[in-house]
Amino acid sequence: LSFESRAQVGDFLTLYVQPEVDGNEEFGAARLGTGYAKLTLYNVELLVGRDSLWWGPGLFGSLILSNNAPPLDQIRIGSAEPFLLPWIGEWVGPTKLLGFVSELEERRDHPRANLAGIRGTIAPLSVLELGASYANMFGGTDRPRLSGVDDYLRALFDPPASDQAANRRFRNNLLFALDGDLRLRNVNRYRVPSRDLRLYGEFGWDDTCCNSNYVPLKDAISGLIGVHLLGLFEIDGLDARFEYAESSKLSFTHNQFYRGYWTRGEVISHAIGTDGTAFNSRITSRVDDDLMVGVGMTRLVIGNTTNPVSGSQERRWGGAIDVTYRFGGVYSLFAQYQLTRTTNRNFVVGHDGFDNLVLLELTRSFR
């Protein structure tokens, strides 16, 4: 059970809070799911608090940051709206930049490790957006610890640091990704079964080869591709989306951060983890201005970032149906039912079963 509330003070301050309550017959807990204060001045946003980050064009996952793991406690700064860079802005187009730093939990491989990241996007054409993402897990309160600005700069940016045993003090788990999003209109004239079309993809890699963190290694690359058909069969309001992602046997793993690219039990990037695959599809139909119906299908093969050589993979196959209805001018109701068949749950062979999930969400706007 959760609820959310947002307050806006002028054009410069946003306050948001989303507490959550979990419980069953034997256990109950309340916590802050998401909560932050965001200050906006001169097209610069500064956010302090707990929030999720999603980098990249994917709908069902991302190779760097997604909402698969719980929200991060962070300080974040970036551009509120796209802007033109000096000198080269005319050629690269509207640009957005974002950076953050976060402190992870105490109970993990290296307590209170940090996670930092930078992302930039450009739109050189009205139909094309390109992005680049960088994330780095480093540090921790256990020994040997970083001390001084020089140490932090080396852990953040020095390629030879990484996960080599001789560099335990400068341990860092670096991830990179490049992505693109192409939007095409009126493609039905080329016998495509939709009015408009989006094609998008993401290519990622981490902890690499050639004594450098920046050169991709085949065994540590991951990829994501997607197709978004808008106006399917030239029917207004009927859309379809198909997305496939795949990771390799070293994706999201690390020698020193031995749990991998992970926080609070979940992979920070895509849910597939190490050596996994995902195929997702979703079709939505906007019946009228107030009613939308959706149906989706998911097939996941999930690898273990902590012990990828074990060979045990969790597999999920399922579907979902949902309805969104707006009423009363200020209310919106979202209802969804999901059914999933899971095998080798939590990478335990033979731990199989069905999962049923009912989600109800009521939104009331005070604007």
Looking at residue 155, its pLDDT comes to: 85
Q: Does residue 287 sit within a domain? A: yes
Is pLDDT above 90 for 3?
no
Three-state SS at 228? strand
Q: What is the mean pLDDT of residues 165-173?
A: 79
Q: Does residue 361 sit within a domain? A: yes
Looking at residue 166, its pLDDT comes to: 67
pLDDT in tens, 53-81: 999 999 999 999 999 999 999 999 999 99
pLDDT in tens, 179-229: 999 999 999 999 999 999 999 999 999 866 666 667 788 888 999 999 999
Looking at residue 208, its pLDDT comes to: 64
Q: Give the integer Cα–Cα distance in Å for 165 and 112.
A: 20
Q: Does residue 221 sit within a domain? A: no
Is pLDDT above 70 for 159?
no
Q: Does residue 282 sit within a domain? A: yes
What is the four-CA torsion angle of 38, 39, 40, 44, rounded to 10 degrees?
A: -90
Looking at residue 25, its pLDDT comes to: 67
Ramachandran area for residue 90 (φ above 0: left; ψ -120 to 50: alpha; else beta) = alpha
What is the residue range of 313's domain?
276-367
Looking at residue 15, its pLDDT comes to: 96
Ramachandran area for residue 155 (φ above 0: left; ψ -120 to 50: alpha; else beta) = alpha
pLDDT in tens, 232-269: 999 999 999 999 999 999 899 988 898 999 999 999 99
CA angle in degrees (0–180, nearest 5) for 25-27-31:
130
Q: Does residue 106 sit within a domain? A: no
What is the tally of structural domains in the chain?
A: 1
Q: Does residue 213 sit within a domain? A: no
Q: Does residue 358 sit within a domain? A: yes
Smallest CA-to-CA distance from 333 within 359, 362, 358 is with 362
Q: Give the integer Cα–Cα distance in Å for 37 and 138.
A: 26
Q: Does residue 133 sit within a domain? A: no
